[in-house]
Amino acid sequence: MKKIIERIVTKPAQPGMVGDGFRVYNFIPRGNVSQRRMSPFLMLDFAAAFNFSPTNQPRGVDVHPHKGFETVTIAYKGSVAHNDSAGNSGVINPGDVQWMTAGAGVLHKEYHETEFAKKGGEFEMVQLWVNLPKKDKSVASHYQAITEDAIGKIILPNNTGIVNVIAGNANGTKGTAETYTNVNLFDIKLNKGGSFTTTVPATHNTALLMVNGSAVINSETAPEHSFVLMKNEGEEITIEATEDAVILLMSGEPINEPIASYGPFVMNTQAEIYEAIEEFQSGKYGELV
């Protein structure tokens, strides 16, 4: 049975800025697409392609804390550098993914990679926040640096496209990322006229982000930069590209636990939020300059 589209959400009229380097359109949480409705996905910021001018002072977001969830950054254009208080650092380039588990708490910063900043150019990214169940919110912080060549791939026939399986399982191809709950994350690149059919569990909260181009999804046209929310019934999704298209499909088993969130902290109760803030203020998350 095909999944049914609940609604297609157009992008906000104006983007917002995260720091001075991430010009984003927010889709989760927004309106009726709440954190509860899209659990385990807590936030989706889409940095649509934008040309940044050259600078010797890399743009980005300075030191900030995270606790109780994971951040997933997918690079399409441009390069992002990051550091955290656990001693991790790295750069993600187009096609790469950074999957950071904040867990018990970490300080983090992310910014345009130095050489990219000096040259300037098009920058296009997606960042998702993925919730952790209560039993895993206190795991030690860590991250997975997933390079483009390490991601599981489905090569579609007749040069019609490619599917990068970041997490979960697409038609028997397993994703690279290790996850704490059942999550699918497929980066689908279709040439005009190309199509891809897959299934996700009916119980999953499921949506597709139209990163580039338009496509027909289960017989309904989704325009560029829209967010396609699926009902929790049916399993089959068919995507037919009416032009060259890049589509991010996300689905996940809901975490049926209370959500208490305040800025960069996501816990189960307000008392745990207050505790997280006190931990941050007392320096428990380490140091990062």
pLDDT tens column, 246-262: 999 999 999 999 999 99
Contact 275, 266 (CB under 8 A): no
* pLDDT exceeds cutoff 90 at 161: yes
238 has a pLDDT exceeding 90: yes
Find the length of the chain: 289
Determine the Cα–Cα distance for residues 123 and 258; give it in Å rounded to an integer: 35
Q: Decide: pTM greater than 0.85.
A: yes
**Which pairs with CB-CB distance under 8 Å and at least 24 residues apart come from 20-26?**
20/59, 20/60, 21/52, 21/58, 21/59, 21/60, 21/61, 21/111, 21/112, 21/123, 22/47, 22/60, 22/61, 22/125, 22/127, 23/47, 23/48, 23/50, 23/123, 24/127, 25/225
Amino acid at the residue 170? A
Q: Which residue matches tokens 């795991």?
A: 139
Structural fold of domain 5-273: Jelly Rolls (2.60.120)
DSSP summary character for residue 256:
-
Q: For 2-54, what is each residue's pLDDT tens digit?
A: 999 999 999 999 999 999 999 999 999 998 899 999 999 999 999 999 999 99
Average pLDDT of span 82-98: 95
pLDDT of residue 197: 98
Going by C-alpha positions, the residue among 164, 246, 239 that lies closest to residue 213 is 246
In the DSSP assignment, the letter for residue 67 is B
What is the average per-residue pLDDT within 227-245? 98
CA distance 270 to 283: 20
Q: What are 119-128's pLDDT values in tens digits? A: 999 999 999 9
User: What are the CA-CA distances from residue 289 to residues 60, 82, 254 (Å)?
Assistant: 14, 12, 36
Q: What pLDDT score was predicted for residue 289? A: 83
Helix (H) / strand (E) element for 213: namely none
